[in-house]
Every structure is written in structure tokens, then in C-alpha cells.
Structure 1
Amino acid sequence: MASNRKQAPWQKKLRALLQKPAALPILAAVCGLIIVAIAAIVVWFTVLGGKPAESGSTSWSEPASDASYDATADKVDVDAYKGTVLPETEDAGQEYLGETLFLGDSNTVRYMVYGPEGSDEPFTTIDNNIGVVSMGVQQISSLKCENFVGRSSAVTMPEAVKIMQPRRVIIGFGTNNLTMDVDTFIEEYKEGLAAIHEAYPYADIIVNAIPPLDKQRSNTALSMKQVDALNSAIVKMCEEEGYKYLDSSQALEDPETGWARTDYTLSDGVHLSQNGVRALFDYIKTHAYITEDTRPKPLNKVPQVQGVTPNLITSDPIAVRGENGQATTKVPVEFVCSEGGHLSGATSQMVAKGGTCSTVTAVPDEGWVFAGWAATIGSTGGSGESLTFTVPSNADANGVILTAYFEQVEAEPTATPEPTASPSPKPTQAPTAAPTTAPSAVPTAVPTAMPTAVPTAVPTAAPTAAPTAAPTPAPTPEPVPTEPPATEAPASEPAVTVPDNSTPANAAPAPEENASTASVEG
């Protein structure tokens, strides 16, 4: 029974469309778009929605206080502190760094990880670096942190300075004190610096500026207003106490915005990245402070350095605060590489302890090969070029730095052809005949048959000129005569032997009987 229900206009249009030949391809395309959309939604929630808890990608919104930040309001007035702020100098080089002891917090630790571009050597080593993760100015004179071979316990920074006897000290604290009152901060800093100077008064003391923050930092409770206020107080303290001030903010901050330059910090916006540390050390070497070396000579023998006790401070004073005021467990993870290649992937991540980083691949340049990964903490296992790293549960606020190493491929040596033996010079055989035109056949020996009859007188047809005496017999002849011997004369005419002054000395002599019977006169 036919239905009496009236169809809506859109139903009629749909029915007409489905009856057309092109209906099937159009329907297939629509279904394909729906499937792609569903897949995208699944990826969004499973990967992008779940990965940030592990890889560290978090949404960021600008705090209201950042909008009112003035990049020039509280910056250090260099002109007002000309005698205290270190001016630009010639590059002092690696020797300057080697005579300097660096003291500080987790950013100072990173000086031992990074080095100049194209070099595998870091800027500092444990022999001239005492950096303690999460340390603040209030612990300079009290925290026993540095270890030496032969000592049963660690010593404080002032005690370590006395033992190591550096020519100068560059000290950098403040990142972990950004929530501290300015006056309290300065009083604590003064006490720590005075303890260092008292322990070893021969070392020049240089106080480094607190590095700038990145605007998109993970802890928005930290602000550049605080950084600027503390740095302004530090330079004033240096002038009053007789220390020098290293205004490294000039190298690290964007002069227009006042925040850290792009890619000069890790993804947490606080710790210096490889680019940031390199810029810092370029500034240190070109703002050198070199005075007369007044250290007592000879210097005492420095015991072997073992370095800082690990995990001295377990709490992170500047960690991001989550629910109920609890600190999150995320730490910065940075991927860097040596000369000979580059990295593909997110090289700066914030990852929860025990979480897994997103994959980063080491890509060798032409003429180089991948040599392996190294981690400042944890294990990379037998990973190949692509690394998916799991952050150890004991990682601290300094995070983890993973380095990809490359080796240059040695070109196969080109086969060198063996030298062709030079022919040895052979002695040239002496000519067998004096005349320029030699006979075609030269006898190898003087004929044994001599003429049967020898004339007793000279024939009437004699040569126009003859020697006055018979030639003297020559020494024993060489095996090969130098000119053809006289051939046997025909039987009808007796052979005539005519002395010739041009006869070579090595010519075969005439028989003795001829010489005794023939007398030639002119």
C-alpha cells in the first residue's frame, strides 16, 4: 500500500541527487571526510591530549603583570656604575677561564656541559666549577657541597676557594631567590661574599647578573620585574663592598622586550640553553677583569677534585606549583649535538620524572656518521639515531641534557702507484772503429795468415810523407780492435805496410819481423 505521507522538499532533492551517476563518488568523498575528521579527533585526545603530561607541551597564558612590564624601568644603569660594571675588553681567551673559579646554582652546572661551537670540550670542568642545583645565596657559607680526595667530608664554597686558590671568582646566584625580599637577598649575598673574601683574600670577586627569564616560562610566578630589581640591588652592593659586576644581561636579553632572547633558555624559560651559555661565555671573555696576581707563591698543591655531592637539595624552590600547592614533577630535558650533524624533533622539552620524551633523531651531515647518545643522568641504552628517552625518577631541577655525537668518516686512501724502476745507466760501448764510416763487417780477430812474401824495399810509389822511424809497438791490444786490420793483399801484388802517424794507440801492432826488416826513409 502506497504511503500518503508527503515528502519534504529536501528529501525530494536528496532522492534526485542519489539517482544521478555522480552520486556514488560524491557519497564516497563525504564518507572519507567524515572518517578523517574522526581520526583527527582521536589523535587530538590520545596524542596531543595525553602527551603533554609526558613531553612537556603546556598551554601558556600571559600573566597580567607581564603586560605592564617596562624593559627599561629597572635595568642596571651602567653609566652610574662605571667603576663597578666591567667594560668591554679584548678577548681574554681560554687562559682567563682556566684561572677563574665559577660558583653558582644549576645554571653554573650547565657551564660543564656546553662548550664553544665546533668543540667537544666544555667551558669549565670540576676543576674550576662548583655549581649546586637549586642552591640560593643563603647557603653560600653554610652548605657543605664540594668534595676532594683525601678529605672525609665535603666543604663549603668559601673553604673550597681557599683550597683551590683561584686567581679570580665569578659567582652567580639569584635564580632560586626570585621569590625572596630584595633586602633579605642582599644581606644574605653580602654574608656569603664576605666569607669567600675572608677565606682567600687574594682572589678577585666578580658577581654575575641573574640571567633573564623567557616570557613564556613554566612558572609565571617568576617575573622579569623581580630579576631587574635584584640585579639593580646587586650592582649597588658590589660598588659598596668593592666587588666587580658582570652585566651579562646585555648578552642574554632582547634589548627591545627585556626578556631572554629566543632560544637562550630551555622550555622552562629559566635555565640557560646551549645558545645562552655560549653567548654568556663570549661576554665573559670580552669583559675580562685581570689584575696583578698577588697570590702567595708557590701555590699550595691542590688535592684532586671529586666535585659536588649529588642531590644535595631535593626541593626545587622555583618549581611550578600545581594543585594544593604541590610542586610538579616535570624537569627540563634538552637535546644537543656535537659537530657533524643536527637534530630533528623537539630539542627542548618539559617532561615528568619517569615520563618519556617525544622522539628526537640525530641526523649526520655528509661525510659524518652517528656515533651514539650520552645523558647527564639516566641511560640511553643502545639507542640508534632516533632516541625516545625516559626521564629517571631521581632527576632534579637541572633536568637532563642528552648529547648526540658524530664522527667524521675517514676517506679511503687513494692507491699510490708503485714507482717505476728507473733503468740503470749502461756504459756505452766504445766505438769499434775510428773512421766515421765503419765497414759493414768487422772481423773479431786479426787474421792468423800473414803474407808469404814480405818486400825488403819500399815500392817506387811511396807515400808523399812518411815517419822518420818505425812506429813503436803499442801495449797489449784490447780484445776488439778499434779499426779494421789490413786485409790480405792479392797474390800478384805484395802487401805494403805503411806506417801512419794517425794510427790510434790501441791499434794492433805490426808483426816484429816486419818491423825489423823494413826501413823507411823520407
Structure 2
Amino acid sequence: MASNRKPAPWQRKLRALLQKPAALPILAAVCGLIIVAIAAIVVWFTVLGGKSSTSGSSWSEPASDASYDATADKVDVEAYKGTVLPETEDAGQEYLDETLFLGDSNTVRYMVYGPEGSEDSYTTIDNNIGVVSMGVQQITSLKCENFVGRSSAVTMPAAVEIMQPRRVIIGFGTNNLTMSVDTFIEEYKEGLAAIHEAYPYADIIVNAIPPLDKQRSNTALSMKQVDAFNSAIVEMCEEEGYKYLDSSQALEDPETGWAKTDYTLSDGVHLSQKGVRALFEYIQTHAYITEDTRPKPLNKVPEVQGVTPNLITSDPIAVRGENGQTSTKVPVEFVCSEGGSLSGATSQMVAKGGTCSTVTAVPDEGWVFAGWGASIGSTGGSGESLTFTVPGDADANGVIITAYFEQEEAEPTETPEPTASPEPTAEPSPTPSATSAPTPTQAPATPVPATPVPATPAPTPAPATPAPTAAPTPAPTAPPAPTEPPAPTEAPVNSVPEVTVPDNSTPANAAPAPEETGSEAATAG
């Protein structure tokens, strides 16, 4: 039985809309918007989910961070004006080469990074002693530096004496943030005194502890601790006569007090490439150069072998997870040389033995990808896209992976050879007779008028005056005769003795002038 129920008003409107010609484009547009919205949601969750799984970004702010005052415990530069290094002109690479850098894992990174556009790092093993996970309490006791010809490693103070630097920049404290401030300063004083005693000719500069990123892996560490330690360090430098490098000014956000964005790795502790570059720009523009009082000549420095690898197996802070829980994740940073960029997550926190998310090297125009390099582990024969597996023996310093690019070789262009200037060629001359002097060059034959000339009596022959001979035959190399006949010219006078000719006679060798007419010729005869 058919229903007599009438359609609702919205149904009638929909049916009317669908019957209009514009209905199909409108429906297509609506469907397109729905598809785009779904795709955006999928991408959103995919990207965030991938980042969270590799970088440990499931971070929540500790309650103590909310009460952090970015200006409360910062170093008072004015109060320590004679101790805090002021801004100077850029001292350049020479200043760095004369400096020995001592410190922890952040110091190690100075040997990995370099200025933008340069393949050279800021420091090398010849002026860098950085030990991963090391603290100030180990300065006098840990035998870490190796030299060729020595059977065992030596401590940092002993290494300073051997290497005889003009100055020392030392940076410890990140691995000591769980200590009390007083204990930390006492340990630091002892270590610095040992260095000064071993080699009193080197200026000692103490670097600030770098700021943490707010979204750090180990939330047991705080910027309150960092600020308190740095304030105590500058006071110690004032008392002991050392200089203080307030590099926090270059690394921290002045408004928040935390590290600037992207100046640390995903763990929020170790300096990234961007952070190290900012640090060294600050070092070079806050230089401390005094008179060189080192005894001359300097002793010969034995070949440096560097720090014993994996010297400290326990990590005080860097690989601890959220809320102090133990974690096996280490920071992995992807960087690139000049000539390209990277696509993907360039800073990741990955478990030892785990796999990083894929990162792709993208060369700039005119450049080509040249390969990958890793501070530890192997990148294999990967192409431009790399999915790296973190070695099981990675430590708190993590892994640094570098993409290298090189310029494309330009197509060789043929350089035209210079054309030699033509040498002037001597004009050919008629071949002279073997038995006579050279005959003067004869003029071209003069056309003779068609009017006949009557014969005339021969004149009395001149003594020994030979009649002119025919023009000599030119050599085969003579140029061809001109295509146009030259204008009539007077015949040249031969170089013969002058002959007196009677008025009524015509010399045999005289050619009639072209302007004479026939009647004039007859009269002359």
C-alpha cells in the first residue's frame, strides 16, 4: 500500500537542488573538501606520531619550571666587570689555534662542527681534550689524554703542561648539576689550581654552563640549577684571578632564559650544530689576548693521539628519561656540509640499536650528493635517503651524521688557440739574368691606337745602345695580372746613355702617344 506521507521541507529542497544544473559541481567541491580534510588529519597524526616515537617529545612541564624567573639568578656582568670578558674584535681562527679546550661531551662536539661553508672543524685533537660524561671532580685524577711515545694516558693538568697552550678555555658543569653548588665549586677550584700549577704560563678562562632546552629529556635538571652554578663560577673566577666567558648570552633566549630554539639536540642538553656555531662566534668576539710569557723556545710537543674512547661508561644525566627514569635513548643529529639541505627529522632521540626515521640529503642547484659520514657506526652504501641504525655502544654524546655535497664539474669548454699574426710576404720580383744586372721593372704594355703609322727612315744607330728586349717572364710564384687594365702611363726611361735624335725622326723605341691622331703622325714624318 502506497504511503500518502508528504516529504519533509528539507527533502523537497534537496530534491530541487539536485535537479538544478549546478548541483554536480557543488557536490564535487564538497567531496573534495572532505577528502582534503581527511588527508590533513592523517598527515597531522602521522608526523606528530613519528616525531614522538623518535624524539621522546611526550614531554610535560614540571611544576618547578612554572616558577622559573629568567632574570633572578643570572650573572651580574656589571658587578664582575673585570672578570667577565667584554666584547672585542673578531680574533679569528688563530686565536682558537692557540687555545686548548678542556671539558665534557659538549667540548667533544667542537671537533665535529665548523663554520658554515667550511669543511674544517673549530678544533682538532691537537687543541681539544673533551671527555664524554666527565665532571669537575675528575680533572685531577682521570687519565684521559694519550700521546705517541707514552705508555699510558695522562690527566688534563699533565696534558696542559705537555701541550703548552697560550690559553685554556675550560667548560664543565652539565654533568655536575646534581651536586650542591658548594661541592661543585670546591671541586672546580682544585682542578683549576692543578692546571695552573702544572703550566702557570697559560691564561685560564672558565666557560659558562650552557643553558638547557625547556623540553629536555631529563626534567630533574633545571635552569635554576644552571643559573646558580654560573653565578658561583663567576664569583670563583673573581676570587682566584681567572677570566669568565659568559657564553650564555649567545645561547639563551633573553626572554625565557632557556636555550634558544634548535640550539640543543632532542635531549635538550647537548649543543647542536647551530648552538656550537653561536658559541664560537661569541668566543672569537670576546677574546682574551695577553702578552705571551711562555718560555721560548717551546718544548717539542709529541704527536697527540687523543682521548681514550669509552673512558666513562656511566652517564650522570644525559640518557635519563622523563622524571629521572632510566632510558637507553641517545641523541642523533643529522647535519650537512655546504651545497645542500636535509629533509626529515634532523634531531632525534633513538634507543641504542634502534633505527632513526629516514632523512634525505637534498643537493642545491649545481651540487651533487657525495655520501654520508657518522661519528660512530656505519652508514653503509646508502643513497641520498638514509635510515640509520644506532650502534649498541653509543654513549651520552650520541651520534652525529653528516651529509656531504660537492659541486658538479662544469662541462669543459674549448678555448680557441690564439691565431698567429701573418708575417709580411716579400713581393716576387722578376728573375734576373745570370749574366747581367737586374733589369728595371717594366710598365705594363700601353695599348696602341688602331691608326697605322707610316714607316720612317731608321736613325743613325746610337753606339752600343741595345734595343729594349721583351719584358722578362716573371717567376712562377708571381701574382696573377690584375683583371682590369691599368691606366696608360708613360713608359719608364731605360737606364741607357742619352741619344740625340734628329727633329724629323722618331726613335725606334718611342711609342706613339695615345692622344696623337693619324694626320699629326703623318706631319711628324
> What's the TM-score, normalizing by structure 1?
0.78
Q: Does 1:204 align with 2:203?
A: yes
Give the Cα–Cα distance (whole angstroms) in 1 for the partners of residues 444 and 31 of structure 2.
110
- Judge conservation of contact 2:234–2:244 (CA < 8 Å) in 1: yes
What is the letter of the counterpart of residue 445 of structure 2?
A: P
Aligned length: 463
Q: Match of 1:75, as an amino acid? A: K
* Counterpart for residue 348 of structure 1: 347
Q: In structure 2, what is the equivalent of residue 103 of structure 1?
A: 102
Asked if residue 415 in structure 1 is aligned to residue 414 in structure 2, the reply is yes
Q: What is the aligned partner in structure 2 of residue 425 from structure 1?
A: 424
Q: Map Cα deviations across residues 190-237 of structure 1 (whole Å, 9 max, x no partner).
A: 000011011111111000000111111111111111000000000000
CA distance in 2, matches of 1:417, 1:268: 60
1:280 aligned partner: 279
Letter in 2 for 1:385: E
1:439 alignment partner, one of 436, 445, 459: 445
Q: In the alignment, what sits opposite 1:246?
A: 245
2:116 maps to 1:117: yes
Q: Say whether the 8 Å CA contact 1:56–1:352 is kept in structure 2.
A: no
Q: Which residue of 2 aligns with 1:455?
A: 460
Contact persistence 1:170–1:208 (CA under 8 A): yes
Q: CA deviation at 1:495?
A: 4.9
List gaps (5 residues or longer) in structure 1.
443-450, 459-469, 499-522
Look up the match of 2:169: 170
Q: 1:237 to 1:41 in 2, by over 3 A?
A: same
Deviations 1:441-500 (A, max 9, x none): 89xxxxxxxx997626x9xxxxxxxxxxx9999xxx9967995879xx9xx9785689xx
C-alpha displacement at 1:43, in angstroms?
9.0
Confirm or deny that 1:292 pairs with 2:291: yes
Deviation larger for 349-358 or 310-319: 310-319
**Structure-2 separation of matches of 1:406 and 1:320:** 32
Name the structure 2 match of 1:387.
Answer: 386
Name the CA distance, whole Å, in 2 between partners of 1:366 and 1:32.
35
Unaligned runs of 5+ in 2: 431-438, 449-455, 475-490, 496-500, 511-525
Residue aligned with 2:291, SS: coil
Name the CA distance, whole Å, in 2 between partners of 1:496 and 1:320: 127
Quote the offset at 1:130 in angstroms.
Answer: 0.2
Q: Distance in 1 between matches of 2:209 and 2:322?
A: 29
Amino acid at match of 1:370: F
Given that 1:105 and 1:131 are in contact with CA atoms closer than 8 Å, whether structure 2 keeps it comes out as yes
Partner residue, 2:63: 64
Cα distance change, pair 485–46 in 1 and its aligned pair in 2 (3 A): closer
8 Å CA contact 2:100, 2:168 repeated in 1: yes
Partner residue, 1:302: 301
Q: Which amino acid aligns with 1:120?
A: E
Name the residue aligned to 1:338.
337
- Select between 235-244 and 417-426 the one with higher mean Cα deviation: 417-426
Contact 1:319 1:328 in 2 (8 A): no
**CA-CA distance at 1:365 after TM superposition:** 0.5
Tell me the secondary structure at the aligned position of residue 234 of structure 1. helix
Tell me the amino acid that sits aligned with residue 138 of structure 2.
Q
CA shift for structure 1 position 321: 4.0
The answer to whether 1:312 aligns with 2:311 is yes
Structure 1: distance between partners of 2:43 and 2:116: 39
Q: Which amino acid aligns with 1:148?
A: F
CA distance in 2, matches of 1:428, 1:324: 104
Relative to structure 1, the CA distance from residue 46 to residue 143 in structure 2 (aligned partners, 3 Å threshold; closer, same or farther) is: same
Change (3 A) 1:421 1:258: same
Spell out, residue by residue over 1:104-141, the C-alpha distance to the aligned partner (whole angstroms, 9 max, x if none): 00000000001011100000000000000111111111
Question: 2:267–2:318: 8 Å Cα contact kept in structure 1?
Answer: no
CA apart distance, 1:44: 9.1
Q: Offset of 1:413 from its aligned partner?
A: 2.1
Specify the SS of the correspondent of 2:342: strand
* 1:392-411 correspondence runs (5 A): 392-411=391-410
Structure 1 pair 440–217 and aligned structure 2 pair: CA distance change class (3 A): farther
How many Å separate the matches in 2 of 1:69 and 1:42? 37
Instruction: Tell me how far apart the structure 2 counterparts of residues 228 and 66 of structure 1 sit (CA, whole Å).
Output: 13
Change beyond 3 A, Cα 1:388–1:266: same
Counterpart Cα distance in 1 of 2:426 and 2:38: 98
Q: Deviations over 1:417-441 (max 9, x none)?
A: 3444543321134699778x74248
Q: Which amino acid aligns with 2:401?
A: L
In the TM superposition, what is the alpha-carbon distance from 1:48 to its structure 2 partner? Answer: 6.1
| Separation of aligned partners in 2, 1:38 and 1:286 | 52
CA contact (8 A) 1:433 1:484 kept: no
Distance, in Å, in 2 between the alignment partners of 1:232 and 1:409 is 51
Q: SS at 2:179's partner residue?
A: coil
Contact 1:345 1:360 in 2 (8 A): yes
In structure 1, what is the equivalent of residue 132 of structure 2? 133
Counterparts of 1:151 and 1:17, CA distance in 2: 94
Matches within 5 A, 1:138-177: 138-177=137-176
Going from structure 1 to structure 2, the CA distance change for 1:325 and 1:246 (only over 3 Å counts) comes to closer
Shift of 1:58: 2.2
Q: Percent identity?
A: 81
Q: Deviations over 1:2-51 (max 9, x none)?
A: 9xxxx9x99x999999999979x999999999999999999999996587
DSSP 3-state at the match of 2:78: helix
Task: Find the aligned partners of 1:217 and 1:323 in 2 and give their Cα distance.
Answer: 8
State the AA in 2 paired with 1:393: G
Partner Cα distance (1:324, 1:67) in 2: 16
Q: Deviations 1:304-349 (Å, cap 9, x if unpaired)?
A: 1111111111121113545996520111111111111111111111
Contact persistence 1:343–1:363 (CA under 8 A): yes
1:216 corresponds to: 215
Residue identity in the other structure for 1:86: L
Q: Give me the whole-angstrom Cα distance separating, in 2, the residues matched to 1:16 and 1:62.
A: 55
DSSP 3-state at the match of 1:214: coil
- State the match for 2:178 in structure 1: 179
Paired letter, 1:439: A
> Which secondary structure does the structure 1 equivalent of 2:170 belong to?
strand
Superposition deviation, residue 143 in structure 1: 0.6
Q: Report the equivalent of 1:93.
A: 92
Counterpart of 1:467?
A: none
Shift of the 354–199 alpha-carbon distance from structure 1 to 2, 3 Å rule, reads: same
Task: Look up the equivalent residue of 1:382 and give its one-letter code.
Answer: G
Q: Name the SS of the counterpart of 2:83 in structure 1.
A: coil
**Structure 1 equivalent of residue 478 of structure 2:** none
Query: Equivalents in 2 of 1:323, 1:439: separation in Å?
Result: 117
CA distance in 1, matches of 2:428, 2:28: 101
